[in-house]
Amino acid sequence: WIFVVNGVFHKKYRPVLFLLASLSFLASCRELDMFFDKKVQFIGWEIGFIFPVSAIIYAYKHKRTLRNTLIDFYSSPAFHMMCCAMIIIFPIAQCIGHGPFVRDVLGIQSIAEIKELFEESGETIGYFIILLSSIEFYLSLLKGKK
């Protein structure tokens, strides 16, 4: 929500911020997959793709603004924090949470709870870093206004 609120108040950065918010909303839907699979059975958690698709359409309509603000975003510390979060969420959490890997390392067959602990803990750390990066980007935009 920090990206959305920030996008409402900083029109220049709105396409970038809405793209980031949409990816965060998609990740939320993915984490709530069991809920969506029960409540929205015809599509499941994939309903979350509505957010990135709409943000991409918005960004395409404002592509000139997007191009300029992406350069500012890439040079901000928030971008580097998000890259770190993506490294934690995807390769580290997913690989460490990979069943055969955990079985080989621990030497036991019943690893469902252990695997979930590793994977979910890694993802939580990554999501927390994304939260911190959204705050960092908000603060950098405030500092840029002065």
Residues comprising the chain, all counted = 146
Amino acid at 103: R
Q: Helix, strand, or coil here: 95?
A: helix
What's the average model confidence in pLDDT over 107-134?
Answer: 82
For 140, the token pair is 């950098």
CA quadruple 79, 80, 82, 84: dihedral, nearest 10: 170
pLDDT, residue 72, reads: 84
Given this model, what pLDDT does residue 146 score? 47
Question: At which residue do the structure tokens 């928030």 appear?
Answer: 78
What pTM value is reported for the model? 0.76
- Token readout for 101 is 């890997």
DSSP designation for 76: S
